[in-house]
Structure 1
Amino acid sequence: MGQPRMRHRKGIALLPLGHSDYEQTLRGLAQWYELSAACSGCGRTVPVDRYEMRRRFGENKKVGTLASKLVCSGCGNRVGNKLLIGMMPRD
């Protein structure tokens, strides 16, 4: 039996951390994926603008390496934050 699927509070199916898509570059990540940042300090989860991330860090940056660059806009925490990949519902 596989690992249970996690869900974002908005119903978006999240990929488990360590999934092979975390090795994708920002340029190569499929359009139907949404990025969210989760704070380890206050628990806040917010959507992340993938195009802003591409502009700031470069389109060849791997998604899995970006978590260390996240800063919570709620509490200012910089340690232990996670970047989550979610699959948006498709028709």
Structure 2
Amino acid sequence: MSAHESGYMNKLNTVCNRQGWKLTKDEGVQSGPKHQPIWTGHVYVNGKPFGGQGRSIAAAREAAAMAALDYYRAYNPGVVPSDF
């Protein structure tokens, strides 16, 4: 299963809504050859950046959202539901 299919952005959005946190994302940056692009994207939770990379901007944002969820699981227990 790819990161894009995992719904990390939806899960992060749910957490942010429940906590009253602001969630934003950037436009992303494409690098690499046109036939094999690598996208780098960021999400921001209350201004704190989390980055990720993928073959599309959506996949890069999913990777960034996964990083944010992992961070809050580790450093703010109870904020991210265990089934996320």
TM-score range (shorter-chain normalised) is under 0.3
Output the TM-score relative to the length of structure 2: 0.27
